[in-house]
Amino acid sequence: MSTAKKDYKRITVKSLVEMKANGEKISMLTAYDYTMAKIVDGAGIDVILVGDSASNVMAGHETTLPITLDQMIYHASSVIRAIDRALVVVDLPFGSYQSDPKEALRSAIRIMKESGGHAVKLEGGKEVKESIKRILNAGVPVMGHLGLTPQSIYKFGTYTVRAKEEAEAKKLKEDALMLQKTGCFAIVLEKVPAKLAKEVAESLTIPIIGIGAGNGVDGQVLVTHDMLGMTHEFNPRFLRRYLDLYKEMTQAFEQYVTDVKSVDFPNENEQY
């Protein structure tokens, strides 16, 4: 396995395609606020996704559907203020691009103008092709998203693995090729069989970033709050937890309660 790593001062959409060509895997994580983005960027993560998963993680909604364009712009502008190196990709939220290509372009322009994001991501295949073309024609880079597309959760009915059947796998491969031909600079492939994801990654020149799509793809993305173990109700097989922050934060908060109640905090050195 290649661990090649070029020293990029600033990641652009071109850097990602170059990384794939050089066999360097791409690291991507989510962030929705300044403080988290500062740490993620400082750690050398290549791509920061201001995902519409903010709807679940930050606002506590059951799905990604309720988050608005204004709310995405708020999260993205906070992230942008923290960044020195990473490419910042911002999700177009549900309802901001599906109805017609002109609306899709207006939404993408608002994100670029009002947040300072570097690219947008949207879900779907041939049904959103015309919207992608419009956005690209305005000079805005687009990342695709295939496989499990959470904005269509009520169509699927479940969050189970997608494209296990031949017909759906065939459509996914056609959509991936179409996204490349249309001009997308990368595609997120979510929760599909590893063999299929590898096949797609090997057949395209643009990077495929996987989440629950095995290690035969060109990079990986996780939701930061999940990989830090801050969320603990969500336990898909693909999730590797690097910390158990839920436990550690709970212990810290409990200790704070004890210290305040017992007047241990603040002590003499912690006052004026």
Catalytic residues: 190
Does 46 interact with ligand KIV (rule: CB under 6 A)?
Answer: no
Within residues 127-186, the interface with ligand KIV by CB under 6 A covers none
**Which residue lies nearer to ligand KIV by CB, 86 or 221?**
221
Binding residue for ligand KIV (CB under 6 A) from 211, 213, 217, 227? 211
> What's the CA gap between 70 and 45, in Å, rounded?
26
Give the x-and-dash track for 72-101 against ligand KIV (CB under 6 A). Answer: -------------------x----------
In whole angstroms, the minimum distance from the beta carbon of 211 to ligand KIV comes to 5
Taking the complex as a whole, the smallest distance from the CB of residue 223 to ligand KIV amounts, in Å, to: 5
The reply on whether position 53 binds ligand KIV by CB under 6 A is: yes
Residue 267 CB, shortest distance to ligand KIV, in Å, is 42
Give the per-residue SS3 of the chain: CCCCCCCCCCCCHHHHHHHHHCCCCEEEEECCCHHHHHHHHHCCCCEEEECCCHHHHCCCCCCCCCCCHHHHHHHHHHHHCCCCCCEEEEECCCCCCCCCHHHHHHHHHHHHHHHCCCEEECCCCHHHHHHHHHHHHCCCCEEEEEECCHHHHHHHCCCCCCCCCHHHHHHHHHHHHHHHHHCCCEEEEECCCHHHHHHHHHHCCCCEEEECCCCCCCEEEECHHHHCCCCCCCCCCCCCCCCCHHHHHHHHHHHHHHHHHCCCCCCHHHCC
Using the minimum distance from each CB to ligand KIV, give the nearer residue, 215 or 255.
215
Residues 6+ apart with CB under 8 A from 238: 191, 211, 212, 213
Residue nearest to ligand KIV (CB): 51
**Smaller CB separation from ligand KIV, 49 or 184:** 49
Identify which range of 50-58, 105-113, 135-143, 239-247 contacts ligand KIV by CB under 6 A. Answer: 50-58
Give the residue from 135, 128, 36 showing the smallest Cα distance to 78. 36
Q: Which of 31, 89, 143, 188 binds ligand KIV (CB under 6 A)?
A: 188
Q: Applying CB under 6 A, what is the total number of residues that bind ligand KIV?
A: 11
Exactly one of 29, 82, 223, 227 binds ligand KIV (CB under 6 A); that residue is: 223
Q: Of 120 and 223, which CB lies nearer to ligand KIV in the complex structure?
A: 223
How far is the C-alpha of 188 from the C-alpha of 239, rounded, in Å?
A: 16
Q: With binding defined as CB under 6 A, does residue 208 bind ligand KIV?
A: no
CB of 132 to ligand KIV, least distance (A): 16
Q: In the complex, which residues of this chain contact ligand KIV (CB under 6 A)?
A: 30, 49, 51-53, 91, 188, 190, 211, 221, 223
